[in-house]
Amino acid sequence: MTEPIIRIDRLEKSFGALNVLDGLSFDVMPGEKLALIGPSGSGKTTILRILMTLETISGGHIEVCGEQLFHMQRGGREVPADEAHLHHMRRHIGMVFQHFNLFPHKSVLDNITLAPILTKGEPRAKAEARAMELLEMVGLADKAQAMPSQLSGGQKQRVAIARALALQPRIMLFDEVTSALDPELVEEVLLVMKRLAAETDMTMLLVTHEMGFAHEFADRVLFFDKGRVVEQGPPDTIFRQPTHERTQAFLRKIIAAGHRV
């Protein structure tokens, strides 16, 4: 029996008086592809941001690759993690953002090689060779020397995926990666992600409004509402026979808005 790669245990997160996550618990198994769906404000993006340590937590515990993410042991006591511990934990995790967040002052190639060179001390030649392989994979080898401002949104997002992959994380987080794209550019990004899911054993967590893609991509779908997992299961069950009334209402709204499920 393998151990979960992520264990979320009674997680609390509040922004001021607003409770975004309310005793959230779930596990993720190594290699699992998870889709997180739900109405906006349900906390699904927040959980990704917390896993990337972009947000702190208000209570509860998260274990990643067998170690506490936000806590560490000091003198036999559990204390909040310091920057060194977070740095140590972040190497397991990569993230792709809704707005790509490429570095505008660096070429495509430099965007990808920056972190491997700085954080892993990789020689430039090795980092560049790997970056070219990744660009090949996302179909942008000819754009290595381009600046981000010269790329379309879909190309930017594919570069951002390559950049996150360059650090070879065990867990990848995708935060609404197609939401900021023009409709005709969505497909090229989804294709890259499908290939990635098929060809690697990376654990992937995906927050998305593309229900058709979630259906195809995920091993398990979690429906979020008001900071909790209301319902979860295989995509066929969640999308075809949701049992919870709030899941049904959400999916009805999505279908009414013209989305394919």
**Interface with other proteins, residue 10, by CB under 8 A:** no
Q: Which is nearer to other proteins, 148 or 235 (CB)?
A: 148
Q: Which two tokens stand for residue 24?
A: 């959230």
Contacts of 155 (CB under 8 A, 6+ apart): 140, 143
Smallest distance, other proteins to C-beta of residue 108, A: 12
Q: Which residues lie closer than 8 Å to 200 by C-beta, 6 or more apart?
A: none
Angle between helices 124-137 and 108-120 (to 10 degrees): 130
Q: Is 167 in the site for other proteins (CB under 8 A)?
A: yes
Structure tokens given for 239: 């999308």
Does the protein bind other proteins through residue 119 (CB under 8 A)? Answer: yes
Is position 15 an interface residue for other proteins (rule: CB under 8 A)? no
13 neighbors 43 (Cβ within 8 angstroms): yes
Helix, strand or coil, per DSSP, at residue 8: strand
Q: Considering the rule CB under 8 A, would residue 90 count as an interface residue with other proteins?
A: yes
149 forms part of the interface with other proteins (CB under 8 A): yes
The least CB distance from residue 74 to other proteins, in Å, is 20
Residue 103 contacts other proteins per CB under 8 A: yes
Q: Which of residues 66-85 bind other proteins (CB under 8 A)?
A: 83
Q: Which stretch binds other proteins (CB under 8 A): 51-59, 179-187, 216-224, 228-236?
A: 51-59
Residues that bind other proteins (rule: CB under 8 A) add up to a total of 27
Beta-strand pair 33-37/203-207: parallel
In 3-state terms the chain splits into helix, strand, coil percentages (rounded to 5) of: 40, 25, 35
The rounded distance, in Å, linking the Cα atoms of 261 and 171 is 26
Nearest distance in Å: CB 2, other proteins:
25
Phi and psi at residue 201, to the nearest 5°:
-105, 25
Q: Out of 27, 54, 194, 234, point to the residue binding other proteins (CB under 8 A).
A: 54
State which of positions 184-243 bind other proteins (CB under 8 A).
none
The residues that touch other proteins, with contacts defined as CB under 8 A, are 52-54, 83, 87, 90-91, 93-95, 97, 99, 101-105, 114-115, 118-119, 147-149, 163-164, 167
